[in-house]
Amino acid sequence: METILHVEDLRKSYNGLTVLDLDALSIPRGQITVVMGPNGAGKTTLIRILALLEEPDRGTILLGGQPVPEDEEQRLALRRRMGVIWQRPALFAMSVADNLGLALRLRGWNRKQIRAKVEEYAEMFNLGRLLRKWPNELSGGETQKVSVARSLIYEPEIMFIDEPDTYLDLRNRHLVEEMVASQVERRGMTALMVTHSRQQMSRLAANLVFLQAGQVRWSGQVDSQDPKNWDEELKALLGLAEPSA
């Protein structure tokens, strides 16, 4: 299994308090890695650091085996190969088609290329009849769908998703999952998703990282269909341990 992201000796503190202290962590390429752990465990901080939106106090980050450069311009080039889906979707005040095309425009695509890609993704995610609409004409679910499509359309190598379940109803939660999973299947995208939901983890995870108090308590491949075979430590962390007789 190929590693896309590897961190070593990573440390981050705020106001003198260590919130992340990882010896080593590897994220496999082309899979969905789910990150779980209690509130305040450092999940969002880890995502922000891996997505190169925040600098750790110290540590090494390897992306595709190469150290992430310190130069801001080079970091920006790497960030353009990454996508982030935050808890609250926000669209720009422009048509859905323009929202979808924006990231491509920023990446220097020409009009014809943009139109073709927007059409391809509108078809893939069933957004065709929304293309001429503006954000204020969309339902919550449609807004979600467009915002996820907007993050996927430039085909990032890695997608970071922070607790998409906290504001979504079940139907839209499944929708986001399906959109992300389809990109993993179709073109080998890597996804790193924080969730509190064990059900969501079971539906999606090939790999699992459990954080607690800023440290990795468990990390590895999971057969999400078959929790019976999970090791006892993982079951205990997830609150699935058999009550002792």
Ligand X SMILES: Nc1ncnc2c1ncn2[C@@H]1O[C@H](COP(=O)(O)OP(=O)(O)O)[C@@H](O)[C@H]1O
Strand, helix or coil for residue 85: strand
Instruction: Print the binding letters for residues 31-50 with Mg ion: x by CB under 5 A, - otherwise.
Output: ------------xx------
Strand, helix or coil for residue 192: strand
* Closer to Mg ion by Cβ: residue 146 or 194: 194
173 binds, among ligand X, Mg ion, none (CB under 5 to 8 A by kind): none
Q: Which of 41, 100, 158, 191 binds ligand X (CB under 6 A)?
A: 41
Tell me, rounded to whole angstroms, the distance of Cα 114 from its chain centroid. Answer: 24
59 binds ligand X (CB under 6 A): no
42 binds ligand X (CB under 6 A): yes
167 binds, among Mg ion, ligand X, none (CB under 5 to 8 A by kind): none
166 binds ligand X (CB under 6 A): no
What is the bridge-based pairing of β-strands 82-85 and 17-28?
Answer: unpaired
Strand, helix or coil for residue 213: coil
Total residues contacting ligand X (rule CB under 6 A)? 11
44 binds ligand X (CB under 6 A): yes
State the nearest-atom distance from the C-beta of 192 to ligand X, in Å: 13
Are residues 63 and 72 in contact, defined by beta-carbon separation less than 8 angstroms?
Answer: no
Helix (H) / strand (E) containing 84: strand 82-85
State the nearest-atom distance from the C-beta of 162 to Mg ion, in Å: 6
Strand, helix or coil for residue 65: coil
Taking the alpha carbons at both ends of the chain, their separation in whole angstroms is 39
The residue with its CB nearest to Mg ion is 44
156 binds, among ligand X, Mg ion, none (CB under 5 to 8 A by kind): none
The DSSP code for 193 is E
State the nearest-atom distance from the C-beta of 212 to ligand X, in Å: 9
14 binds ligand X (CB under 6 A): yes
Burial of residue 71, with CB atoms counted within 10 A of its CB: 0-12 exposed, 13-18 middle, 19 or more buried = exposed
Residues in touch with Mg ion (CB under 5 A): 43-44
